[in-house]
Chain A
Amino acid sequence: MKRLIFILPIIAFAGLAAFLGFGLTQDPKELPSQLIDRPLPEFALPGIADEPGGGPGLSSASFRGEPRLLNVWASWCAACPQEHPVLERIAAEGFPVYGIAWKDKPEDSRAFLARYGNPYAGMGSDFPGRTAIDLGVTGAPETFVVDRHGRVRFKQIGPISPEVWEQQIRPLMQQLRAEA
């Protein structure tokens, strides 16, 4: 009993250390998405083409029929050029990638795509940033996996690395394709 009193603080310290140690492995920048398993919020965005109205844009209603990726990016975003080759690879593997240019002037978005290539099957311009708020975006890039019923199934915060694509997102896309 006496000994227990001396051991107790050590046990308490070990417990606290384990708890705080676990906290160090968590990234506080990554907020869990409120949208998981919920329908994509409604939006109808203009395009980024050099014409009045921006040409064909992107709307939430088009996210039906097959699983798709929705990538929120910007020409000012530092990690986006780093992610870009992965997006090109994803498109080359036959998975449709759609984009929202967030708080980005259409001419800047166009210049970015002219420089790095354009893997996107469709693009919307969210210069006012309102759609991004509806999506709960906290920074660029972020990518949503949307199933064939228009529901968000996964959210990647930060760039998609080749490892994240191969180990998490591609298996999920294949599973979603198999789903009825």
Chain B
Amino acid sequence: MKRALLALALLLAAPASAVLPDEMLKDAAQEQRARAISKDLRCVVCQNQSIDDSDAPLARDLRLLVREQIALGKSDAEVRDYVVARYGNFVLLKPPVEADTLLLWAGPFAVLLLGALGLVLWRRRAPAAEAAPLTEAERAELDRLS
């Protein structure tokens, strides 16, 4: 019974979010868009949280700003650009592919390619040449040692 209760509690538990009821938009569809945008915006105070997760006062201000812009009829991209114009690409938890983020996006694939290239070169060199047979003198030395 206890286990069943625990399982039920775990099933019902949802990740907490920092959005307070008084911040929410009346229109459910707009509120959903606001939530989706907020999840991709970094809180600049506690940098590894999104503004949707963060309790920081500045995160609240930004959540309200996102909702205000949506209520004004702005598109998702326009709202994102509005925040990026003020804080830079850093506020996007998923930075766009641009010249200065190319290393970030392409780096892992470049390393993978280098590794594959190394592997191919290494395999191509095999099989290793057989060792030359021992000379008489070496054999005599070996016998002496053993």
Q: What residues of chain A lie closer than 8 Å to B90, measured between beta carbons? A: 31
Q: What residues of chain A lie closer than 8 Å to B73, measured between beta carbons? A: none
Which residues of B are at the interface with A, using a C-beta cutoff of 8 A?
44-45, 47, 57-58, 61-62, 65, 85-88, 90
Q: What residues of chain A lie closer than 8 Å to B45, measured between beta carbons? A: 138-139
Whether B58 lies near A34 (C-beta < 8 A) is: no
Whether B86 lies near A136 (C-beta < 8 A) is: yes
Interface of B is mostly: helix
Interface of A is mostly: loop
**Chain A interface residue count: which class?**
10 to 19
**Residue in B closest to A134 when the chains form the complex, CB atoms:** B86
Q: Kindly state the separation between the CA atoms of A95 and B123 in the bound complex, as whole angstroms.
A: 70
Whether B88 lies near A103 (C-beta < 8 A) is: no
Q: What residues of chain B lie closer than 8 Å to A135, measured between beta carbons? A: 86
**Residue in B closest to A103 when the chains form the complex, CB atoms:** B57
Whether A29 lies near B47 (C-beta < 8 A) is: yes
Q: Kindly state the separation between the CA atoms of A103 and B88 in the bound complex, as whole angstroms.
A: 22
**Residue in B closest to A35 when the chains form the complex, CB atoms:** B86
Q: Kindly state the separation between the CA atoms of A134 and B57 in the bound complex, as whole angstroms.
A: 16
Q: What residues of chain A lie closer than 8 Å to B61, measured between beta carbons? A: 128-130, 132-133
Give 20 pairs: A residue, B residue, CB < 8 Å, sorted on A. A28-B47, A31-B44, A31-B87, A34-B85, A34-B87, A128-B61, A129-B58, A130-B61, A130-B65, A133-B58, A133-B62, A134-B86, A136-B86, A136-B87, A136-B88, A138-B44, A138-B45, A138-B58, A139-B45, A139-B58
